[in-house]
Amino acid sequence: MKTAAIGLGSNVGDRLGNLRTAVNALSWSGFLVTARSFVYETPPFGRTDQPRFLNAAIIGEFAGNPSSLLTLLKDVEKRMGRRDRGRWGPREIDLDLLMIPDFVYSSKTLEIPHPGLAERAFVLVPLAEIAPGWVHPVLGIDIASLAEKVKSEAQSFCRIARL
């Protein structure tokens, strides 16, 4: 089994319900969730003409390879009715493979760690809650320190509930 961090986001429909449904679907599919962050309401990223997001992070164990985990994430999104509304558009659910400790990988369809991980407060804040000591395998900086760098942006976040 390998360990991975997954970022979750939703800004369409029952946002909190969507996050919880996604975690349950991942669990039913063999992703063993070992840690869950709080859920944060955050401003939209990339396109501001849409509702606010709820974001969270989970850590879990999985069998197989990173590509099979990505396939699982995309399958859950599809089963939950995610529609393509363009880059950074509104979404029922968004599941991103953020990182696997001590692992770097790049292909046409997958990059680990996630290329935006180190700059996105809506990912770093929840991830720092559950994996503060994890080290970004490319930058060599722990997640807590990366989250501290985006602290001013995170001041607009509202902690909602436990995932």
Taking residues 141-152, report their average pLDDT.
Answer: 95
Q: pLDDT class for 84, splitting at 50, 70, 90? A: confident
Domain ranges of the chain: 2-162
Set 15, 20, 36, 82: catalytic member: 82
Instruction: Tell me what pLDDT residue 153 has.
Output: 86
Set 91, 120, 142, 162: catalytic member: 91
- Burial call 58-90: b when 16+ CB within 10 Å, e when fewer: bbbebeeebeebbebbeebbeebebeeeeeeeb
Is 96 known to be catalytic?
A: yes
Backbone angles phi, psi at 8, to 5 degrees: -125, 140
Q: For tokens 């939950």, name the residue.
A: 80
Set 85, 94, 102, 162: catalytic member: 94
Residue 1 has pLDDT above 90, yes or no: no
Is 91 known to be catalytic?
A: yes
Q: Say whether domain 2-162 belongs to CATH 3.30.70.560.
A: yes
Tokens describing residue 28: 């039913």
pLDDT, tens digit, 9 for 90 and up, residues 88-128: 778 999 999 999 999 999 999 999 999 999 999 999 999 99
Is 75 known to be catalytic?
A: no
Which residues have C-beta within 8 Å of that of residue 121, sequence separation ≥ 6? 42, 147, 150, 153, 154, 157
pLDDT, tens digit, 9 for 90 and up, residues 85-96: 667 778 999 999
Give the chain's mean pLDDT: 94
Is 82 known to be catalytic?
A: yes
Cα 145 to Cα 130: distance, rounded to the nearest angstrom: 13
Residue 48 has pLDDT above 90, yes or no: no
Set 96, 102, 142, 159: catalytic member: 96
